[in-house]
Structure formats: structure tokens, C-alpha cells
Structure 1
């Protein structure tokens, strides 16, 4: 994980599954609910119109507390290489602002995928750190899901 100028987040994972399988996990509702969100969170529903200009809405349920929603618009949808979308909370924290998430996938020998995530710009370092924690936990779950896909 590295940071460049500005309040941006950069993360990278090598996933033990081919790019098309990883891309489906990043975009298909029935796959997203399996790994999306920080530890302990549930994802009761995902609504998605997967095309540039299409929108999405993800319901997130914390272990304690009320259901809340993440919404945005798809900017780029290029299977199985790239996905970019806006990211905003339906009822944002005063420190939140809309960010852009870009997920890029590079093929590694046809059996694995290199996933690079970039998100920004954040309004505060505290919000960037919160997203870093959430993405780290979510990507841990995605990594486990992709490993189980290969062994299945």
C-alpha cells in the first residue's frame, strides 16, 4: 500500500483466480454479498446497473446499528480488466465526500489476477484510514473466496 500526493488510497492484491472470475466477484450482486464490507458487516442487498452511467446501491448492515447504503455511478466497465465508479454514502458523515474507486486487473499466467485498487480523493486523513481498514478486511474476504474457488 502506498500513498501519492493528496488523500488517496492505493492497494494491491494477487488473487488466486483468473481475471474473469475475479471481475465477476467485483461486479455480480450474488458474488459481492459474499465478501463486501468490513469484518462483521453483512451485505443484505446489492442493486446494480453495470454499464457506464448506470448506478448501484449496496445495503450494509454493521454488527450493531442501523442499515446504511453506499451508492454511486459506474464510470468505466471493461471486463475483465477495469472497473471504475463513484463512491458515496447515502447519508454521509460531515467529513465524507464523493470519491472515485478504480479497480484494475492484470492477468498472471491465466490462473491468477493482480488487483490494483485506487480510491480518492478523501476529505480527511481519518476518512482515508477508515476506508483503508474497510478495504483491507473486504479484500481479505475476497482473497479467501477466490482461493476457495480454485480449490472447489
Structure 2
């Protein structure tokens, strides 16, 4: 990885208050994913997936005041309940977008839940990196609130 691609990569560590297996299911189950994915105010009217290395997925996202758009990709690694990796691209990309790779790893934190490590990159521009950083931050906040509210911790 070059210095430039490292600089335009997103790295997030987040403690989630639920067991690793519960969090992993929330990352892959279409019904679960639709409940927390996307920034605040977004809805997820559809999730299609073929959960296996080489399988594809398509997530329909609808912003609060706008038309639906789609995120698509291909699974690269599926290792329940600890690792998930996939490509990520918008079906109708912004000129500053390019396909990225998302790598997720979950580590048990006994008595607390689990720690999620997320890496995504590399992005074409700092503004696209910032957009994804905000989207992931809001999405993971929603996921943790959902898991905590449902007492799955």
C-alpha cells in the first residue's frame, strides 16, 4: 500500500455492546442490516445478497428527501463470526468515487460485547473518505443503539 492510499483509507475501531455472533448476524442478515445501515434518516427498502466468497450483494438506500440509490459489491471473505470482506461501489457513482474494499473484523470483549475493526479504502479523494467516515459513524451508532435497546448485550 502506498502512502497516498494509506492516507485515503478509513480505519475505525468501535466497541459494540453485544456478543460477536450477534453483531456478525447484524452485518449479514438482510432484515437486520435494513434496521441500522446508512446515515441518520436513511431507510433501506431492499437488501439482496448471495453470502459466499464471490457472491454479490445490492443494498437499496433512500435518503430522507430524495430518490433511492444502490450500493453493490462482491463478497471476498465470509468467516462467521469474526471476519467479513467485500467490495463496495455505488451503482451510479459520483465522478470522485471508485470501488473500495471493506474489511471487518470482530473480537470478543468478555463482559462488554465485542470490538469491531473496520478498514475501507482506498478512496479517490479526501471528500469521499470523509463522506464514508460520517456514514459509518452514524450507521455504527444506530447499530449499537439497536443492539443495546433490544438487550442483546
Q: TM exceeds 0.5? A: yes
Gaps of 5+ in 2: none
Shift of the alpha carbon at 1:138?
0.3
Shift of the alpha carbon at 1:150?
2.2
Match runs of 1:65-76 below 5 Å: 65-76=66-77
TM-score after normalising by structure 2: 0.93
1:105 is matched with which residue?
Answer: 106
1:31 is matched with which residue?
Answer: 32
Shift of the alpha carbon at 1:24?
0.2
Match runs of 1:3-152 below 5 Å: 5-109=6-110, 112-150=113-151
Cα distance in 2, alignment partners of residues 128 and 71 from structure 1:
18
Closer, same or farther in 2 for the Cα pair 1:110/1:75, shift >3 Å? farther
Cα distance in 2, alignment partners of residues 141 and 58 from structure 1:
17
Secondary structure of the residue that 1:150 maps to in structure 2? coil
RMSD between superposed Cα atoms in Å: 1.4
Gaps of 5+ in 1: none
Secondary structure of the residue that 1:22 maps to in structure 2? helix
Secondary structure of the residue that 1:130 maps to in structure 2? helix
Work out the number of aligned pairs and report it.
149
Whether the aligned pair in 1 keeps the contact of 2:8 and 2:122 (CA below 8 Å) is: yes
TM-score after normalising by structure 1: 0.94
